[in-house]
Amino acid sequence: MLDNVLGRSILKLGNPDIMQMHARISYFISAHGICHIPNAIMLNGMAALPAHPHVVLAGDARLGAVFRIDTDTGNVGIAFKDPLLTAPTNASTPIGVNGLKIAGDYMYFTNTAREIFARVPIDGFGQKTGDIEVIVALNDAESYNWDDFVVLEDLNVAYLAQPDNAIAQVSLDGEQKIIVGGGDDGTTLVGTTSLAITQDGKTLYATTRGGTVDGSVYGGQVVRVQL
């Protein structure tokens, strides 16, 4: 019975507002504002701190900053800033920090404009405790960039969405390869944007934004990938 299923999630509805949604499936959905972030420009990736799950880190792709937001109190502030979170001034796609995940003692992120996948050590409160480490730079920047991702620290691997048409596998030692799509395969994945993985690490789910390939229009999809 779905009637007894409860959901709770943090939504980014517009910018720079943070909203909280409570849902009881098949009954109602309600949302209320948690905080307003007047100095934010373009909030993008977001993840909860494992030690304090009511506190989330949110990257700002234009400001080059990571905000810390307490969803219980509404308090918000900048946890840290770094040039590697920004887009270069001459970037054709001015999106810096994009995907953002927390695993172990690190915050992992992609920077779309700088074409990197990187991580930074943080403490339990989301404070930066060391320098950013670039794990890998995109090896085919003319054809792709990086968007959202999933990371499995215990398996030393991450999977990254590569718009326009691929998923990359990256080891945390810096090796990278395309595992789905890419090259002449323009229709298996059309506009890969985000990934999720099952708890056993054997199945990926990719969302796509759709697009036009060779004159044919493809809608957005959810694609299952067996690893």
**170 and 125 co-located in one domain:** no
**200 and 168 co-located in one domain:** yes
**42 and 133 co-located in one domain:** yes
User: Could you list the residue range(s) of the whole structural domain that residue 197 is in?
Assistant: 146-226
Ordered per-residue pLDDT tens for the chain, 227 residues: 233 323 333 334 344 555 555 555 556 677 878 888 889 999 999 999 999 999 999 999 999 999 999 999 999 999 999 999 999 999 888 999 999 999 999 999 999 999 999 999 999 999 999 999 999 999 875 567 899 999 999 999 999 998 888 999 999 999 999 999 887 777 888 889 999 999 899 999 999 998 888 888 989 999 999 99
Last residue of a domain, one of 137, 171, 188: 137
Domain count, the chain: 2
* Residue 10 placed within a domain: no
What pTM, to 2 d.p., does this model score? 0.85
SS (H, E, C) the chain: CHHHCEEEEEECCCCCEEEEEEEECCCEEEEEEEEECCCCCCEEEEEEECCEEEEEEEEECCCCEEEEEECCCCCEEEEEECHHHCCCCCCCCCCCEEEEEEECCEEEEEECCCCEEEEEEECCCCCECCCCEEEEECCCCCCCCCCCEEEEHHHCEEEEEECCCEEEEEECCCCEEEEEEECCECCCCCCEEEEEECCCCCEEEEEECCEEECCEEECCCEEEEEC
Report the pLDDT value the prediction gives residue 5, as an integer from 0 to 100. Answer: 29
Last residue of a domain, one of 112, 137, 162: 137
The CATH number that applies at residue 104 is: 2.120.10.30
Question: What burial class does residue 83 get, using C-beta atoms within 10 Å of its C-beta: 0-12 exposed, 13-18 middle, 19+ buried?
Answer: exposed
Last residue of a domain, one of 108, 137, 166: 137
* Residue 9 placed within a domain: no
* Residue 15 placed within a domain: no
**155 and 131 co-located in one domain:** no
